[in-house]
Amino acid sequence: MKVEVESLDSVRKNIEVVLDESKVNELREGIYQDLKKHAKIKGFRPGKVPRSIIQTYYKDYIEDELKRKMVEETMGDALSETKVEPVSEPRVEFLEDEGRFGYKMECEVVPEFETPPYKGIEVEAEKIDVTEEDIAKRLESMQQMHTQLMDREGDQPAQKGDFVIVKYEASHDGKPVKGVKAESYPLDLGSANLTPEFENGIVGMKVGEEKEIAIPFAADYPDKDVAGKTLLFKVELKEIKEKKLPELNDDFAKDLSFENMDQLRAEVKKGLETEKEGQRKNIIAEQIVNSLLEKSDFPVPARMAQKRAEMLVEDARSRMKVGTLSDEEDRSLNTALLKEYEPEAQKRIKMGLILAKIAEQEGLKVEDSEVDERLQRIAEETKRAYDYIREFYEKYNLRGNLKTSMLEEKTMNLLIENAAVKEKQ
């Protein structure tokens, strides 16, 4: 086997692999012998089909299988011999020269680049300061979370701040709208969970009262089935409940497993400090990333960037609430999202390459035992058995990605520890 490598540019290398004729004949013979055992051709018993017949019947298959086996059996050795490490799937093109058997593969590789100075990067961040106002707001939030819902006494109508149960059904031009109905829908009036017109229409209603509320939907509303239409909602108010807030006292603290309010306040303050430390760390990390990217000028492999952008789009679409789309609308949405996420994909790849090089220069590593510890933490956080999490990561080949992510995290922590932080006044 003869292997030659040629640099096309800083992120692409072309490798030509030419196989000896004897090796090609060996591969071709193996394909023929396999076909001879399993070929089913009318008029011949299995294993007794003449070679010439097999070659005629399976000509295209033999050629395709020969190409596949040439690549399968030699690509690893060719990459090892040339010391090329592709960062994306190589593009293979087979040689068509008479008497030459082999292929060329275009490989995307990590470009050569110098890391910019990464220690002592100047950043700005606010001092961690938890105020009494911060503590009061968090306690108020906890108080709201433990609100009790009490049946409304008397005949007072619903008002903002009430929790109500409604029955509704929507129609358009006198016909029911499929899927837009509920027998007992819980609604916190004033929370803006539904359209303002719907909530405002319920304010002032009494239990047992029925009402019709017309609600227009914008042309660009995500649900295409109702976009641009005005639906008529027939609403019945079934229940009104008032919110009863617990008092912020020692009894409230004890309900949350604290001895008293002083202990609860101390724990709240500690939690807020941890949150602000995390926020400060993220702000510092973002400035470090921007600084390193601004001082780094090297190209990103195109197919690698395309693949990353497609992954970002797939993730974004999984979180989007989109109604039924036509094929054309779906393609347009995908094209728009790819264009939107391409810069982010480039940024993430570039930063990943920079962090990897810094980690190498600093001798940073992530041991398998550290990965196991992280998997244990994931199991605890998700309330799953450790063996289930470990097997899941191994089954879907996610362990390597986790290890890379942990190494980037370790490298970023080093950069944060060595940053020149100026506190904002």
Question: For residue 337, is it within any domain?
Answer: yes
Question: For residue 141, is it within any domain?
Answer: no
pLDDT at 289 over 90: yes
Question: Which domain-ending residue is among 244, 275, 307?
Answer: 244
Question: For residue 129, is it within any domain?
Answer: no
pLDDT band at residue 194, thresholds of 50, 70 and 90?
confident
Mean pLDDT across 150-169: 90
Question: For residue 153, is it within any domain?
Answer: yes
Is there a single domain that holds both residue 103 and residue 162? Answer: no
Is there a single domain that holds both residue 267 and residue 219? Answer: no
- Sequence-distant (6+) residues with CB within 8 A of 115 are 296, 354, 357, 358, 361
Contact criterion met (CB below 8 Å) for 91 and 105? yes
pLDDT at 46 over 80: no
Mean pLDDT across 212-223: 88
CATH number at residue 25: 3.30.70.1050
Per-residue pLDDT of 240-277, as tens digits, reads 998 889 999 999 999 999 999 999 999 999 999 999 99
Contact criterion met (CB below 8 Å) for 422 and 122? yes
Is there a single domain that holds both residue 96 and residue 167? Answer: no
Is there a single domain that holds both residue 233 and residue 358? Answer: no
Round to whole Å and give the CA distance between 337 and 311.
Answer: 11
What is the phi/psi pair of residue 260, to 5°? -160, 180
Mean pLDDT across 34-55: 82
The boundaries of the domain holding residue 59 are 2-108
| Average of per-residue pLDDT values in the chain | 93
Q: Structurally, how many domains does the chain consist of? A: 3
Is there a single domain that holds both residue 175 and residue 295? Answer: no
Is there a single domain that holds both residue 398 and residue 368? Answer: yes
Question: Which domain-ending residue is among 244, 274, 301?
Answer: 244
- Name the DSSP letter for residue 115: P
Is there a single domain that holds both residue 362 and residue 307? Answer: yes
Question: For residue 343, is it within any domain?
Answer: yes
Round to whole Å and give the CA distance between 20 and 3.
Answer: 11
Per-residue pLDDT of 311-363, as tens digits, reads 999 999 988 876 677 889 889 999 999 999 999 999 999 999 999 999 999 99
Is there a single domain that holds both residue 284 and residue 237? Answer: no
Round to whole Å and give the CA distance between 180 and 195.
Answer: 14
pLDDT band at residue 94, thresholds of 50, 70 and 90?
very high
- Sequence-distant (6+) residues with CB within 8 A of 228 are 217, 218, 219, 221
Is there a single domain that holds both residue 221 and residue 275? Answer: no
Question: For residue 119, is it within any domain?
Answer: no
Is there a single domain that holds both residue 162 and residue 280? Answer: no
* Dihedral in degrees, nearest 10, Cα atoms 392, 398, 404, 410: -20
Question: Which domain-ending residue is among 244, 264, 283?
Answer: 244
Per-residue pLDDT of 370-412, as tens digits, reads 999 999 999 999 999 999 999 999 999 999 999 999 999 999 9
pLDDT of residue 99: 82
pLDDT of residue 407: 98
Is there a single domain that holds both residue 163 and residue 78? Answer: no
Who has greater pLDDT, 150 or 276?
A: 276
Percent of the chain with pLDDT over 90: 79
Is there a single domain that holds both residue 273 and residue 397? Answer: yes
pLDDT of residue 323: 64
